Copies of this chain bind each other. A is one copy, B any other.
Amino acid sequence: MHIGLLVFPNITQLDMTGPYEVFIKYPDCTVHLIWKSRDPVAAGGGMQIIPTTTYAECPDLDIICVPGGAGMNPLLNDVETLEFIKRMAFSARYVTSVCTGSLVLGAAGLLDGKRATTHWMSHEMLAEFGAIPVSDRVVQDGNIITGGGVTAGIDFALVLAREIYGARAAQKMQLAIEYDPQPPFESGSPSSAPADLVAEVRALGKQRQDERLALVEQAAAKRR
């Protein structure tokens, strides 16, 4: 089985590295890191990760997963990326995303009428692509599975493991990565965090979010 995760400049690497750690425990799987070239890609924060294959050379994928992060903004209108995703999605068993990667699935025309999630700050943007935004950690609609923001990629990959290999196999993976989370605060989602804290984090991300909304609207307009 072939699993492919996109990597791109300014990706939020934990969107990708969280599920990666689970995917490599899937039996008989090859996990690909895909970009336009094999040159190292600098994630948010600067971490350099080397892609293992390219859009041109990637084999057909059983699972395609698009992570998010600030660097997905330019992908919303990047024909080469959207065509690659569409081509892979056509034959993939599962079409998936973590965080704002779902907006790229939307721009590729894959979420029309589908229930989906994304990072909480970009949640309402999903509707621009005809998706039905759902505020769950992991959302499945047929063969499309989307995870929420950043750390939701770990939950997502375990849910997908259960879907494919059954509960016991997925439980073993969860135990192996000691996923017994004990976050220090009740502040991991906008529904649990204090309202003024949510407002402050929104304000800090306003410029990126405004840019994203404009690019989402541009991408959505092309599809009408």
- Chain A interfacial positions (CB closer than 8 Å to B): 12-14, 17-18, 20-21, 23-24, 31, 33, 40, 44-50, 52, 99, 119-120, 137-138, 148-152, 154-155, 158-159, 162, 167-168, 170-172, 174-185, 187-190, 192-194, 197-198, 200-201, 204-205
Tell me if A155 and B178 are in contact (CB < 8 A). Answer: no
CA distance A199 to B197 in the complex (A): 43
Tell me if A189 and B201 are in contact (CB < 8 A). Answer: no
CA distance A17 to B20 in the complex (A): 11
Tell me if A178 and B148 are in contact (CB < 8 A). Answer: yes
Tell me if B182 and A137 are in contact (CB < 8 A). Answer: yes
Tell me if A192 and B180 are in contact (CB < 8 A). Answer: yes
Contact A175 to B154, CB < 8 A, known contacts A12-B21, A20-B13: no
Tell me if B171 and A155 are in contact (CB < 8 A). Answer: no
| 18 sampled A-B residue pairs with Cβ under 8 A | A13-B20, A20-B45, A31-B46, A137-B181, A149-B177, A150-B178, A151-B177, A151-B180, A154-B181, A155-B183, A158-B185, A171-B193, A172-B204, A174-B187, A175-B193, A175-B197, A178-B188, A179-B183
Tell me if B178 and A181 are in contact (CB < 8 A). Answer: no
Tell me if B184 and A183 are in contact (CB < 8 A). Answer: no
> What residues of chain B lie closer than 8 Å to A171, measured between beta carbons?
185, 187, 193-194, 197
Tell me if A152 and B178 are in contact (CB < 8 A). Answer: yes
CA distance A106 to B73 in the complex (A): 44
CA distance A22 to B158 in the complex (A): 22
Tell me if B158 and A175 are in contact (CB < 8 A). Answer: no
> What residues of chain B lie closer than 8 Å to A170, measured between beta carbons?
184-185
Q: How far is the CB of A95 from chain B (nearest CB, A)?
A: 20
CA distance A18 to B13 in the complex (A): 9
CA distance A49 to B204 in the complex (A): 29
> Which residue of chain B is the closest to A14 with respect to CB atoms?
B21
